[in-house]
Structure 1
């Protein structure tokens, strides 16, 4: 394979040399500092452009650059003002740096490093704050995203910054060093990662402070995930952070801010019985990139194969009497049924047959149209709509999709699953947030099934409604809520609330409290948390910045609403962003270093630094083609914008043709540079090469658990046949011979299946729990008089020792 990627005109790697990351974790919050080292090894001034991923819930709060021994700290300014200042600076020969958020997706940023003289180096540092998400096993997940997949952009649409995402060569030319300091009110149990780590070092005797680092030599070619385990993880906590002493009181940064971490506990009686009603709509990404492997290890399933197995499990786990439908989408979409149908043996068999034939053969990734169609269909009375969205998240119009979900939030709940590294966190978490559901990410060697079944449990929980909060603070104080109202609660899931505390506390030991009330299954539930108003120490204003980010995101989402004063909202966002020094969609960080250099004559050499992508060798024969990318630069109002397209070339790399339209300071033509990519977007490639859509089907090794589940009937029972006996490791003749007297063969087969699940697959119970519940309900309805005998003989046949009360029958 030709090692193309983005090279300088000396055929050398791009100028980004290394990334150093320092992470400070305080409970549920992380402050992340990244330093990027650039070197211009060319003979002419250089503009380097680095498009990179960011966690969707993060907020950039500092940006600086160090050239030689001089450091310049960036200021937050209105976006167009910052762009003008950047263009003026590099046109005058000054050194300038511009950091801006994509207008299409909040999890993509672009860093422009302007007018680096030949031989010059620069260290660029940016700092962001982010919340840590809670996992099913109560771990807090920190993710440093490295992988940024090319976002599918249909012809005729503008992708803005996201269209500049380019695939990298397989050998990423820069390395990563990462150190994490963890501080928690509760003792730290352990820190885990799929990347090699140095041993965890505890820094105090009560294990509330620790340090861990990545092992040396790590290549930043995949996301870095850390899982932090605290003792008493579900214990509610509250942190009060003092305001900035240099800021005036009355504004957010000048007043104290409280962050509450709540874990609502639902009454056990209400959670013991799950709903049997609902309309379940499964929406499956079938774009070309879904044919990529989930990870780069041996025997890795492709994304579509894992999703296919998961869909089969979901179909078997649905309760009788509900309704369902399945949609597949790519460049177009299709549904299995014209409308959602009742879940019966017949409709389940029809769906299972089509799911087994499902392929990643529908081209690009266009989510908007199938969602519009789903929302246009009339809801079924007494069956709440639950949308399950499976995608690798490679889209360009994230904000438009989120606006659509938000506008339909009253008619459904949305559960999302980001499949594979590089899935857009803005899309996956945003759809779940706006749709009142829950988001899951499946990366590396993660199994999709347990995560999806956890979301199904949430979907079957009674909906929490009428959520209200009541704040109590001492006389002379008041609270202003900064985060959006809570619109969804699930058993065991965390809710973070930010509020500004106005006025003065009468004493250092004053207390406040918040009471959350809601209705669940027609019962009123109350959770209360008290907290000290004494500010915590050494928090570094991270909670203020997260609170400002929460308020900014709320205002930005409000801008998408019809009939609002968009300019007034934009002005509020810009004012708050500048005051708090945090990023937003309407502002950018700008830093300029004045120099005595001459004004630049003609355009700078622009070098695009590649971000890592998951290599997808299944979608098409990549080694056989390179893509030449015609680039067109337009300087409208002095701003250089880059548009990208791609066309196939056979067996060769071609030089890039460039054309320029200059309306301001730059006028000299530029010579062509070589830009080739051996790894174009899988979706783009499948759009261009119809041969790539003929994906060969590779027979998968049958998983006995999935095989057993696939044999279950919609009612919950199993039939006694050779396929079921094979799962048990015996023959149908032997199973028939052992059947207890006067016991129906269906009852016998179902009891054996339950014994097998409990005897051999307890480690995967979360995957088969709903299958077993249906089986138990079916057996109880048969009113069998000799169940104890069935269990005794079944244990002997299968070599198990499962007790009858464990089976629940």
Structure 2
């Protein structure tokens, strides 16, 4: 399966320094190389990068000499690099992959025998806030091979050699420093880290380090908990002196961090079309994490789908699509949500397997979009995938083309899910993106998105400026097209002209019939920074906005992307960093030997799972998992060759008592009084009926009240998952005759739970 050993490990180690200030991370990563061969080599390292990262610096150090790279148009950068190599000079190249903005490659050319070299790249990025208030930093370390559909250019991830996890010949070290003016209470991680160390007396600065021995089987995640996190803020940077006139860097830039808030609606829409698009490719059979008996991705997704189906309101429409190398839907078109259609769908969900081959999401998307939208039933699309696709940009463009007809909520499942795909689809479809990694539970994140989709839409979103005469705002990133309760909205803008006084900017929007305003003051006193971090983030936002809309290849758009990239020094899909050591002491004769830095992969039987999946044998060649060969050839494979079917305990169907309880709920929100419910409640059906306060009381009302109490007493920690189920149950219960009798019978419990009927 793998080479027994890697005789020449050109990459020795990676060291990362992370500086987090509030909600922004400035990262410096240094890669140390050494040529252990007898000939000159070209070392090529393909690695993941979060799609939101603004890479602004690349430099190399050889024998004590620092060589700072130039940012050039990509074709010119390749020409510069290749000409240097052909002349025997040392050269260095850093570029974003053409297929996806979250894949980068670094080439170190003409490294002499025994010679060492270091390359350093720097980037900045915004940090998201999790539902529990944690500020989340992730250093991507997992890059699964991306599935390449037939007819598409092969993904660069397909040709990387692989070695078993634990035998990676290079190391990773990471030091992270956090600063927050409101204080830092704790820092947690999915990896082993050193104890939190405060670096000042008021606990506004702290640091942690990654423990030794990271195996590259997971991304490195750090969660910082600040004393205040949901507080609106504004950051201002004055223009950079010497920057080209008219460029992003030349003028003042503001980063507006809004935290919109509005009354949570008690009522929910009973209309809407809910389409669930489920990845059923082979890689969905992988475990959710590396711990023993971890559930499979497909099983976690199936459990989530059952919860979603139970949580939908009567009167809506729904459908479920499964996709892989092909796709299928539960119904020819979306059907009305009734008891019968819900039961049919739940049965089909429980029969789903990860047996659809590769990951081709574009065709089912087109099928969904070709189906007409129902009047008065706005379409909400929920996409579940491990994100291992090779045609990311085409998929995002398809969502954007149809953005006016739906909202798109996306969920990246497992380590290595493409941030470009998951975030790009959600951004294009005015939804939200969530990632489920490590020991995260999928259900609460998905149910949160469903709650958003059931709330009345926020309309007429606009920025309103109050500025002195002569100071003109220019928005660099699009104003939010949708707003959700508790979700931050970040906007970058450029201010051209003379600053004369403090002013303000507001985000205005209409919720139902009421207009809300979130006001932020603008202060230009302390706007100058040592490094133009906000300018770089703004440039990245502008570049991303232009690239998202560049689906027709317009030359004018490409020109704007190039200008924004070259003038700001932030890399784009059309540019690359290149450095040449013009003082190379010993010229290399002839082309260097190419060495691809190996990536971590599954071992032995786990990597051979496709061989034991008869339904997939025709769609994949076993040899695709051989190191150095394509893992995405012949229309199959990619990350899907890494699923594990060996963990029989993890792959066994298991339905928890909680899922059994909610599986019994009817479409109208009620529970039926029967033996299945009685078993869950720990008694017989006869005893359950005998406990009714009066025999005239409706059986279903009694069963529903007891089921709701069971949720509160046994599963209070999972309230985010069943809150919508409870709302349906209470709405069904309230008009029922005999409710007062039921309430009296269980009054102590109801008072304890805080119920008020």
TM-score by length of 2: 0.94
1:401-420 residue pairs with structure 2 within 5 A?
A: 401-420=395-414
What is the aligned counterpart of 1:221 among 210, 217, 228? 217
Whether 1:475 and 2:469 are equivalent positions in the alignment is: yes
Q: 1:687 to 1:760 in 2, by over 3 A?
A: closer
Deviation at 1:304, TM superposition (A): 0.2
Q: Deviations over 1:126-156 (max 9, x none)?
A: 0111110121112111110000010001233
Larger displacement relative to structure 2 (396-405 or 517-526): 517-526
Q: Deviations over 1:67-106 (max 9, x none)?
A: 1111101010000000011111111111111101111110
1:639-658 residue pairs with structure 2 within 5 A?
A: 647-648=621-622
Deviation at 1:444, TM superposition (A): 0.7
**CA distance in 2: counterparts of 1:16 and 1:591, whole angstroms:** 18
**CA distance in 1: counterparts of 2:46 and 2:642, whole angstroms:** 27
**CA distance in 1: counterparts of 2:363 and 2:210, whole angstroms:** 42
**Maintained 8 Å contact 2:40/2:111:** yes
**CA distance in 1: counterparts of 2:481 and 2:389, whole angstroms:** 26
What is the aligned counterpart of 1:184 among 177, 180, 188? 180
Deviation at 1:731, TM superposition (A): 2.4
Aligned counterpart, 2:746: 792
Q: 1:408 to 1:791 in 2, by over 3 A?
A: farther
Partner SS, residue 622 of structure 2? strand
1:690-729 residue pairs with structure 2 within 5 A?
A: 698-729=651-682
**Maintained 8 Å contact 2:412/2:435:** yes
Q: 1:163 to 1:779 in 2, by over 3 A?
A: same
Structure 2: 5+ residue stretches without partners: 614-618
**CA distance in 2: counterparts of 1:724 and 1:681, whole angstroms:** 50
Whether 1:604 and 2:592 are equivalent positions in the alignment is: yes
Structure 1: 5+ residue stretches without partners: 626-644, 654-673, 796-800
Deviation at 1:13, TM superposition (A): 5.0
Aligned counterpart, 1:57: 52
Aligned counterpart, 2:616: none
Deviation at 1:307, TM superposition (A): 0.2
**CA distance in 2: counterparts of 1:164 and 1:755, whole angstroms:** 55
Q: 1:614 to 1:423 in 2, by over 3 A?
A: farther
Larger displacement relative to structure 2 (228-237 or 580-589): 228-237
**Maintained 8 Å contact 1:241/1:257:** yes
**CA distance in 1: counterparts of 2:526 and 2:489, whole angstroms:** 21
Q: Deviations over 1:235-282 (max 9, x none)?
A: 1001111222232554321222111110011134xx222222110000
Aligned counterpart, 2:492: 498
1:299-378 residue pairs with structure 2 within 5 A?
A: 299-378=293-372
**CA distance in 1: counterparts of 2:409 and 2:161, whole angstroms:** 29
**Maintained 8 Å contact 1:287/1:362:** yes
Deviation at 1:452, TM superposition (A): 0.5
Aligned counterpart, 2:422: 428
Aligned counterpart, 1:526: 517
Partner SS, residue 786 of structure 1? helix
**Maintained 8 Å contact 1:758/1:807:** no
Partner SS, residue 426 of structure 2? helix
Aligned counterpart, 1:556: 547
Q: 1:13 to 1:677 in 2, by over 3 A?
A: farther
Q: 1:153 to 1:696 in 2, by over 3 A?
A: farther
**CA distance in 2: counterparts of 1:322 and 1:242, whole angstroms:** 51
Aligned counterpart, 1:572: 560
Aligned counterpart, 1:242: 238
**CA distance in 1: counterparts of 2:282 and 2:313, whole angstroms:** 32
**CA distance in 2: counterparts of 1:464 and 1:384, whole angstroms:** 14
Whether 1:535 and 2:531 are equivalent positions in the alignment is: no
Aligned counterpart, 1:267: 263
Aligned counterpart, 1:203: 199
**Maintained 8 Å contact 1:616/1:682:** no
Deviation at 1:208, TM superposition (A): 2.0
What is the aligned counterpart of 1:67 among 62, 84, 98? 62
What is the aligned counterpart of 1:29 among 18, 24, 29? 24
Q: How many residues align?
A: 749
**CA distance in 2: counterparts of 1:346 and 1:311, whole angstroms:** 17
**Maintained 8 Å contact 2:293/2:649:** no
**Maintained 8 Å contact 1:287/1:331:** yes
Aligned counterpart, 1:4: 3
Q: Deviations over 1:671-691 (max 9, x none)?
A: xxx847999999518999999
**CA distance in 2: counterparts of 1:686 and 1:570, whole angstroms:** 32
Partner SS, residue 7 of structure 2? coil
Aligned counterpart, 2:283: 289
**CA distance in 2: counterparts of 1:453 and 1:60, whole angstroms:** 34
Deviation at 1:614, TM superposition (A): 6.6
Aligned counterpart, 2:715: 761
**Maintained 8 Å contact 2:148/2:155:** no
Whether 1:446 and 2:446 are equivalent positions in the alignment is: no
**CA distance in 2: counterparts of 1:777 and 1:572, whole angstroms:** 54
**CA distance in 2: counterparts of 1:411 and 1:616, whole angstroms:** 46
**Maintained 8 Å contact 1:287/1:683:** no
